A and B are shown apart, each in its own frame.
Chain A
């Protein structure tokens, strides 16, 4: 289980995260929704130990990320786009990651096949499209066959076929007992796959619950989202 507990993050005098609290459970896909700049990435960066919280804690199976012994075997993360140097090839990017965890080369080939990049493994990342970069980020997340997937805006830049593919991937992962936390500012893209929702606006969690609970009293998820985040349709896209 992933637990974000009373997390506060300040940048200068600005409070970017204000006592953010929620959980993501095994066997379920948890969608972390909010407009751009609401604090989704900041929360995930703290969960993954990249940034520090000023207060509160973020735990993975009861432990802070930085204390995991072989993090990739527990958590597969995709953050900050590709996360590869642009002069690297997909192959060399995944190969160094595999090296740190003693993951065999065979597995690198497998994930490249799985995300549909096998034919572009020798191409430099700097020449990738946004969608290809997302696929490489996913390949890195899947490399260690983790129980938990944390994906920041995974559908960004993917074509409709790619979006369908990633929906199926996270659905299958959760159905197999895994935990999935994915963030998005595109409500429509995750509505079909999410079991639980966490809606954040201006650094505060404004609603959590199952899809049915959150949308109760509103017409549909889109209406709920804009009612809760105070944005007009189209804002934050």
Chain B
């Protein structure tokens, strides 16, 4: 079987899964809401002549601050692409899970898993820049384009950094879900960790080694965001986070190719 067909099948499967669109829509709406709140406050600060009180009045900064929500979208995508395979049907409809169909239609496990990982990458690489584009547009509408202080080059670099972070996080979510076969635990842990309370950040109070955890290692990929001091610089951080991602994907591949479905 040509690899393109396996990939086409997986892309098709993801694009026609309502949970994927739910995750994308949720992340986009969340990012729009945060951007709107930020921008309204920034505009009020500008109008009151107290711009410095609101950190930054740049539309880009106010939109970029919502990018962690895109990371949540990436986590949802990474999780549901694989957890949907293991969701059991209603018992009175015969039970049954999609994974049996997937593995009889395309019994080449590593290729299937790789196609799913590529699906996550493609998805996040479309969602993240698109969300940023839409939110920056919204912020410019509210604040006004004249207040922009971030250069286009800087904006593009930071968009790429944030997108890379979201992509790697999506892949980590994917790899962990391959191991758990259920999306509940990875969704809870990863979304909590990237929104409410960062468990890894708390760990840094105990040991500086926590700066080498995947999420903290990569956090400087978000150039310009306020974050705690210390830890790895952007490039070594990106390498460490990519290393984690790769290692988890390799483990997921080894387990997936040996395990009974």
Contact = CB atoms under 8 A, between A and B. Distances in A.
A128 interface: yes
A50 B98 CA distance: 12
Contacts of A51: 260-261
A138 to B, nearest CB: 12
Nearest to B261: A50
Interface stretch (A99-107, A172-180, A225-233): A99-107
A66 B97 contact: no
Interface stretch (A82-90, A113-121, A182-190): A82-90
B1 interface: yes
A125 to B, nearest CB: 7
Given A50-B103, A50-B261, A125-B89, A80 B97 contact: yes
B90 A86 contact: yes
Contact of B103 (A49, A69, A84, A140): A49
Given A71-B104, A79-B104, A101-B1, A95 B98 contact: no
B100 interface: yes
Interface string B96-133: 11101101111110000000000000000000000000
A83 B85 CA distance: 9
Q: Contact residue range for chain A?
A: 35 or more
A86 B96 CA distance: 10
A82 B89 CA distance: 8
B49 interface: no
B230 interface: no
Contacts of A49: 103-104, 107
B47 interface: no
A50 B85 CA distance: 13
Nearest to B102: A83
Contacts of B96: 80-84, 133, 137
A96 B9 contact: yes
A213 interface: no
B87 A86 contact: yes
Q: Pick from B89, B97, B107 the residue with the most CB of A within 10 Å.
A: B89
Contact of B18 (A77, A79, A87): A87
Nearest to B16: A92
A135 to B, nearest CB: 11
A157 interface: yes
B236 to A, nearest CB: 40
* Closest A-B pairs by Cβ, 10 of them: A81-B96, A81-B94, A83-B101, A100-B9, A51-B260, A80-B100, A92-B16, A80-B96, A96-B12, A66-B107
29 contacts: A45-B260, A50-B261, A51-B261, A66-B107, A66-B108, A79-B101, A80-B96, A81-B96, A82-B96, A83-B96, A83-B98, A83-B100, A83-B101, A84-B89, A85-B84, A86-B87, A95-B16, A97-B101, A99-B12, A100-B1, A100-B105, A100-B106, A101-B5, A102-B5, A125-B93, A126-B93, A130-B92, A133-B89, A133-B96
